[in-house]
Amino acid sequence: MRPLKLGTRGSALARRQAEIVIETLAGATIELVIVQTEGDRRTETSLEEIGGEGVFVKDIERRLLTGEIDLAVHSLKDMPARDPEGLVIGAVLPRADARDALVAHDGLTLEQLPVDARVGTDSRRRATQLLAMRPDLRIESIRGNVDTRIAKVASGEYDAAVLAVAGLARLGILERASQAFTAEEMLPACGQGILAVQCRAGDDEVLEALRAIDDAPTRAAADAERAFLRRLGAGCRLPVGAYAEVTGDNLLIRAFVADDAGRVRAGTSKGPVSAAARAGDMLAVRLMIEAGIKAGAGETR
């Protein structure tokens, strides 16, 4: 195979995720190319103000389309539910722990946090589920990479913050988490814990190499969750969570969506792995009907 250029963001977590992909593609000659995305440049602005969808991937995708890089690695939860024309997800790696974690001052759990505790998150999905468990919390926007957000908690600027377990684990700092939420307590974002390797649709050489590392159960779960988000419209206006699990030839997807008034509709859908996307799509349709939600309302974070 020809030497390849792999594009990624510049944070410690993004670099580690790129290293995982390089290690998985053993034998290939790969050069790492750091790309600063809009989400990285505008760290003082909330993701909702920026526009939410694709702010961590679009700049990298442009380089893929122009041929400046051959591959890109993304956290799947950062990716829009529809692939841009000319690009495909050539592989998804085995899913890491998809749960969310609380990183709290003095190692407190959610239950132990004081009344009116300040909890940092820029995700309406997380905020909705946190308030369902602790309505007294003060949810405040927090930006920055993993180390920055943890430092803001350690300094007392926030009492706690919510981060992905997978990111903490990949950085080797999972011990900083004071609590990991179960999927029943906090449904993950669509694609959370999944690394996606993106390439050009017509690059047969790269696609062949990626097929060899594509994890089938994770691909089925990703297909179901992205189909759920796609049906909603893949925007960022409403809190949405979805998590699919594969057991043998069967798939179960659990999901929720909340309307503008904060009313939550949740449900599950089952189906064969071969129809994973259909299971996600049907569940989205059902919840949208129950909630009276029009297409175009989902959230990717």
What domains does the chain contain, in order, with CATH numbers?
Answer: 1-93+194-214 (3.40.190.10), 100-180 (3.40.190.10), 216-295 (3.30.160.40)
In a 13 Å sphere around the CA of 58, the CA atoms on its Cβ side amount to 11
pLDDT at 238: 79
The pLDDT averaged over each successive group of 10 residues in the chain (301 residues) is: 92 94 94 80 54 74 94 93 95 98 96 97 93 96 92 96 97 97 96 97 96 97 96 74 97 92 89 97 94 62 47
Name the E strands within the chain: 4-8, 30-34, 71-75, 87-92, 100-104, 118-120, 138-140, 160-164, 179-180, 195-200, 240-247, 250-258, 264-272
Are 28 and 4 in contact by the 8 Å Cβ rule? The answer is yes
pLDDT at 171: 96
pLDDT at 236: 46
Break the chain down into helix, strand, coil percent, rounded to 5.
35, 25, 40
CA distances from 99 to 118, 181, 187, 277, 295 (A): 21, 6, 8, 22, 27
pLDDT at 144: 87
Are 95 and 31 in contact by the 8 Å Cβ rule? The answer is no
Are 150 and 161 in contact by the 8 Å Cβ rule? The answer is yes
pTM of the model: 0.90
Give the other-Cβ count within 10 Å of 148's Cβ. 13
How far is C-alpha 68 from the geometric centre of its chain's CA atoms?
25
Q: Which two tokens stand for residue 99?
A: 């749960």
pLDDT at 52: 56
Which residues are tagged catalytic? 78
Sheet with 264-272: strands ordered across? 240-247, 250-258, 264-272
SS3 of 148, please? helix
In a 13 Å sphere around the CA of 97, the CA atoms on its Cβ side amount to 15
* Helix residue spans in 106-213 (DSSP H): 124-133, 146-154, 165-170, 204-211
- With vertex at residue 111, the alpha carbon angle to CA 107 and CA 115, rounded to the nearest 5 degrees, is 95
Give the span between the Cα atoms of 88 and 90, in whole angstroms.
Answer: 6
How far is C-alpha 25 from the geometric centre of its chain's CA atoms?
22
Q: Using CB atoms within 10 Å of the CB of residue 114, give its burial: 0 to 12 exposed, 13 to 18 middle, 19+ buried.
A: exposed
